[in-house]
Amino acid sequence: MKKVLAIAGFDPSGWAGVQADLRTLEDFSVMGLSVVTSLTAQNRRAVKATLHIPPAFVRKQITALLEEFEPDAVKIGMLGSAGNVAMLVRALRGAKLRNIVLDPVFRSTSGMPLLEKRGIKALEAMFPLAAVVTPNVPEASIISGVEIKSVKDAEEAARRIYSLGPAHVLVKGGHLKGAPADILYDGSGFEYYGGKRIMARREVLHGTGCVLSSAIAAGLAAGEPVKKAVRDARAYLAEVLEDRMRRF
Ligand code: PXL
> Would you place residue 51 in the very low, low, confident or very high pLDDT band (cuts 50, 70, 90)?
very high
pLDDT score, position 200: 85
Q: What spacing in Å lies between the alpha carbon of 40 and ligand 1's midpoint?
A: 8
pLDDT tens per residue, range 170-187:
999 988 888 778 999 999
- Cβ(158) to ligand 1 under 6 A? no
At residue 26, does pLDDT exceed 90? Answer: yes
Q: What's the rounded Cα separation, in Å, for the pair 24 and 18?
A: 10
Q: For residue 138, which of 175, 166, 108 has the smallest C-alpha distance?
A: 175
- Cβ(139) to ligand 1 under 6 A? no
Percent above pLDDT 70 for the chain: 100
What Å distances lie between residue 211 and 61, 102, 144, 151, 205, CA to CA?
Answer: 22, 13, 24, 23, 10
pLDDT score, position 174: 87
At residue 166, does pLDDT exceed 90? Answer: yes
Q: What's the rounded Cα separation, in Å, for the pair 203 and 134?
A: 21
DSSP string for 4-20 = EEEEEEE-TTSSSHHHH
Give the domain ranges of the chain: 3-247
**What is the average pLDDT score of the chain?**
96
What Å distances lie between residue 229 and 33, 51, 164, 173, 235, CA to CA?
Answer: 19, 33, 22, 17, 10
Q: What's the rounded Cα separation, in Å, for the pair 18 and 214?
A: 9
Which CATH architecture group holds 3-247? 3-Layer(aba) Sandwich (3.40)
At residue 211, does pLDDT exceed 90? Answer: yes
pLDDT tens per residue, range 104-121:
999 999 999 999 999 999
> Would you place residue 66 in the very low, low, confident or very high pLDDT band (cuts 50, 70, 90)?
very high
- CB half-sphere exposure, 145, CA atoms < 13 A: 4
At residue 146, does pLDDT exceed 90? Answer: yes
Q: For residue 23, which of 151, 197, 214 has the smallest C-alpha distance?
A: 214
- Residues 39-54: what's their mean pLDDT? 97
Q: What's the rounded Cα separation, in Å, for the pair 47 and 163?
A: 33
- Cβ(229) to ligand 1 under 6 A? no
Out of 13, 23, 40, 214, mutate this one to test ligand 1's pocket (max ligand atoms within 8 Å of CB): namely 40
Percent above pLDDT 90 for the chain: 91
- Cβ(9) to ligand 1 under 6 A? yes
Could you tell me which residues are beta bridge partners of residue 132?
101
Q: For residue 175, which of 140, 133, 125, 145 has the smallest C-alpha distance?
A: 140
pLDDT score, position 180: 78
pLDDT score, position 196: 82
- Cβ(104) to ligand 1 under 6 A? no
Q: For residue 102, which of 83, 121, 124 has the smallest C-alpha distance?
A: 124
Give residue 110's Cα distance to chain centre. Answer: 18
Q: What's the rounded Cα separation, in Å, for the pair 77 and 99?
A: 14
Q: What spacing in Å lies between the alpha carbon of 77 and ligand 1's midpoint?
A: 8
- Residues 194-203: what's their mean pLDDT? 85
- Which string of b and e fits 80-118 if b means at least 16 CB within 10 Å? bbbbbbbbbbebbeebebebbbbbbbbebeeeeebbbee
pLDDT tens per residue, range 80-103:
999 999 999 999 999 989 999 999
At residue 248, does pLDDT exceed 90? Answer: no
- Residues 61-66: what's their mean pLDDT? 98
Q: What spacing in Å lies between the alpha carbon of 222 and ligand 1's midpoint?
A: 25
